[in-house]
Structure 1
Amino acid sequence: MTPNRYSLLADIGGTNTRVALAEGARLLPQSIRRFANADFATFDAVLAAYLAIEEGVDCAGACVAVAGPVREGTAHLTNLDWTITADSLARATRAEVVAILNDLQAQGHALGHLAPGAQRPVMAARGPAAAMATQLVIGVGTGFNAAPVHETGAGRIVLPSECGHASLPVRSAEDLRLLQFVETAHGFPGVEDVLSGRGLERLHAFVQRDHGGLAEASAPAIMAGLAAGEPQAVETGRIFVRLLGMVAGNLALIHLPYGGIGLCGGVARAFAPWLGPFGFADAFRDKGRFSGFMQDFPVFMIEDDFAALTGCAHYLQGRMG
């Protein structure tokens, strides 16, 4: 490969890492590789494996999206014992320009650059979105997080957060019992402790306890039970969707994303068929005297599993000029 023609991109989740090359802002689909994080002690080892496959391509730039907080060029993954620094990324890739983003920031930078059909409507707004309107991306996968997307005269700004570690909201006696269940078993009851893959398993355990059961189930098994109409899986799914709608509605009131809310992540996509039947819209808009106001926010599902890589490519292209 021609030196300095490409940029290296990576999307580091809690379970898997996706690595790819881009030419300018164009993601090269044939270069995408997926690595199981459990097979590697460090991210540098993942990069070494990828670069061996790509025959040591020399990259002009490198950008990684990380499922965890990024501060002063250093990222600590929330659900994985990896630390990534800008210096280590530059050494591993030999790139002149490097960047580290939170994974939801990368999703935000992908908006407007995805293929037609990659955004599927979940809930329409009562009017068209204004140009330059704020958007919001909400990720539900191994963890939970969100990032607001602001358009400015100087370019797009996507702000990071760690809102998955905020407290679970409570609207009912059932919600309070769930909060106490999570708190007793796992300590602080955060949003991510229910609205995530592992959180779905905790929620199912809560439902099981109410029915006198003790058997544990994995998230894939719960989703299979939901598809088969298994009563406790269905009850778990209904609670999950209601809480997702409630939390998404809270975030909408905080950020006012009149340009739309994009749901992303493997768990969010798995629940796509159930958002309508299980009342996502009702839970989202259940805000008392502001319920009508909530109709101003459209919601869509981001179907592109590699959207974060696309976002990294566009962000890096902006940095490199």
Structure 2
Amino acid sequence: MSISADPCLTLVADIGGTNTRVALASGKLLQESTIRRFRNADYPGLETILREFLDGHANLSCLGTCIAVAGPVANGVATMTNLDWTIDEPTLSRATGAKHVALLNDLQAQGHALGHIAAENLRPVFGQPSTDAQAAKLVIGVGTGFNAAPVHETACGRVVAASECGHVNMPVRSEADLRLARFVETAHGFPGVEDVLSGRGLERLFAFVANEAGTPTERSAADIMAGIDLGDESNLATAAARLFVRILGAEAGNLALTHLPFGGVYLCGGVSRAIAPHLEAMGFEAAFRDKGRFAGFMQNFSVAVIEDDYAALTGCAVYLVQQTA
């Protein structure tokens, strides 16, 4: 039987600010051979993408559809934070013909994927999570934007709470941080976490570091990552990356104290994966644990990086199974 002829298939998608990934799943198992990536700028909306994807799978009958979106979801409607799209459940039903449809925030999807990610796709940063299967967990996404979601196990199944914590105030620990806050708030009048912890956030940090050095200049996030030289302390790219890692550690620590994820903190997203090799050398752990008299308590939390680029798709498949069981 071909994949498209499987009567239990579901359609899952992960919509970021730049790209949309679409795939089929059989139960909780993602069919990786079906994954397609679409550049959002090339399409007027999600419905067009889903129809194009389904055109490649003739006679497919979707049991359900679950879409993860980088933005808030309320009452069956998703509003993209970094993309001018609004998506609702009737649109999903119309585009796919699926009886069961669901919309999740992308970090909720990442949370539902925990426990279904291959061990080789989890990169430890420090610590070991609790062996208690009921212990809370936390996923933190750093990519085009920033967000986080706590993961709780309940008698009724897993619950992953949505948030938009990328839009709270960025952490300020020093006079230099205060200058940074004033520097980045010129973008839209407020120094949010996402303004410093995201792809464009890294670019703003570089601009700030260059400005502080008296050599105002700008550089793309990709060029900044490529320009890191740990042996050159005067390197602006390295200085920007160190600042990024320190703020990321501080904010991850803040979120850990807020949610008490004794089952582990999991970083995900393209920027998390890109910066992962530098977290140890650039002081992520020290910044994470820099909580005054609670510094010792911070040892209760472990941190790992999810290096599975399709974890959100798996999370969508897992969520559909839980909802239709």
Classify the secondary structure of the residue corresponding to 1:226. coil
Query: Structure 2 residue aligned with 1:319, among 291, 310, 323?
Result: 323
Matches for 1:119-198 after TM superposition, within 5 Å: 119-125=122-128, 128-198=130-200
Count of residues in correspondence between the two structures:
320
> Per-residue displacement from partner, 1:99-143 (whole Å, max 9, x unpaired)?
000000000000001123111110114x74423100000000000
How far did residue 193 of structure 1 move?
0.3
Find the counterpart in structure 2 of residue 276 from structure 1: 280
- The one-character-per-residue Cα deviations of 1:273-315 (angstroms, maximum 9, x if unpaired) are 1100010000000000000000000001101000000000000
**Deviation digits for residues 189-233 of structure 1, max 9, x if unmatched?**
100000000110011000111122232211000001115866000
1:56 Cα deviation after fit? 5.4
Residues 1:261 and 2:265 aligned together: yes
Gaps in structure 1 of 5+ consecutive residues: none
- Which residue among 47, 70, 74 is the counterpart of 2:77? 74
> Which deviates the most, 100-109 or 23-32?
23-32
- The answer (yes or no) to whether the contact 1:63–1:100 under 8 Å persists in 2 is yes
1:239 maps to 243
SS in 1 for 2:248: helix
Letter in 1 for 2:33: Q
Matched-pair contact (CA < 8 Å) for 1:20–1:32: yes
* TM-score (norm. length: structure 1): 0.97
SS of aligned partner of 1:164: helix
Equivalent in 108, 117, 120 of residue 117 of structure 1: 120
1:129 touches 1:260 (CA, 8 Å); kept in 2? no
Counterparts in 2 of 1:296 and 1:272: CA distance versus 1, 3 Å: same
**Retained in 2: the 8 A contact 1:20–1:28?**
yes
Tell me which amino acid in the other structure corresponds to 1:267: V
What one-letter code is carried by the residue in structure 2 that aligns with 1:192?
E
8 Å Cα contact 2:5/2:59 also seen in 1:
no
**How far apart are residue 57 of structure 1 and its match?**
2.1
Counterpart of 1:7 (choices 10, 14, 17) is: 10
Counterparts of 1:128 and 1:25, CA distance in 2:
25
Cα distance between partner residues in 2 of 1:276 and 1:291: 18
From 88, 99, 110, the counterpart of 1:107? 110
Q: For residue 200 of structure 1, what is the aligned residue in structure 2?
A: 202
Displaced runs of 4 or more, over 6 A: none
CA distance in 2, matches of 1:57, 1:64: 18
Q: Deviations over 1:39-90 (max 9, x none)?
A: 1110111111111122352201000000000000000000000010001101
Letter in 2 for 1:263: L
Pair 55,227 (structure 1): closer, same or farther in 2 beyond 3 Å: farther
After alignment, is 201-210 or 65-74 more displaced?
201-210
Conserved 8 A contact 1:130-1:259: yes
Q: Given residue 108 of structure 1, which amino acid in structure 2 is its aligned partner?
A: G
3-state SS of 2:225 partner: helix
Write the distance in 2 (CA, Å) between the matches of 1:93 and 1:229: 53
Query: Residues 8, 318 of structure 1: CA spacing in aligned structure 2 closer, same or farther, 3 A cutoff?
Result: same
> Equivalents in 1 of 2:229, 2:46: separation in Å?
36
What residue in structure 2 maps to residue 252 of structure 1? 256
Comparing 259-268 with 225-234, which one deviates more in the overlay?
A: 225-234
Distance in 2 between residues matched to 1:222 and 1:294, nearest whole Å: 30
Aligned to 2:291: 287
AA of the residue aligned to 2:9: Y
Name the CA shift for 1:212/1:186 in 2 (closer, same or farther; >3 Å): farther
Q: Secondary structure at the match of 2:82?
A: coil
Q: What's the counterpart of residue 214 of structure 1?
A: 216
Among candidates 89, 92, 116, match of residue 92 of structure 2: 89
Instruction: State how far apart, in whole Å, the 2-side matches of 1:317 and 1:128 are.
Output: 26
Aligned-residue sequence identity (percent) comes to 61
Superposition RMSD in Å: 1.3
SS in 2 for 1:216: coil
Q: Distance in 1 between matches of 2:106 and 2:297?
A: 29
Q: Look up the match of 2:19.
A: 16
Secondary structure of residue in 2 paired with 1:57: coil
Q: Please, what TM-score do these two structures have when normalized by structure 2? A: 0.96
The answer to whether the 8 A contact 1:86-1:99 is kept is: yes
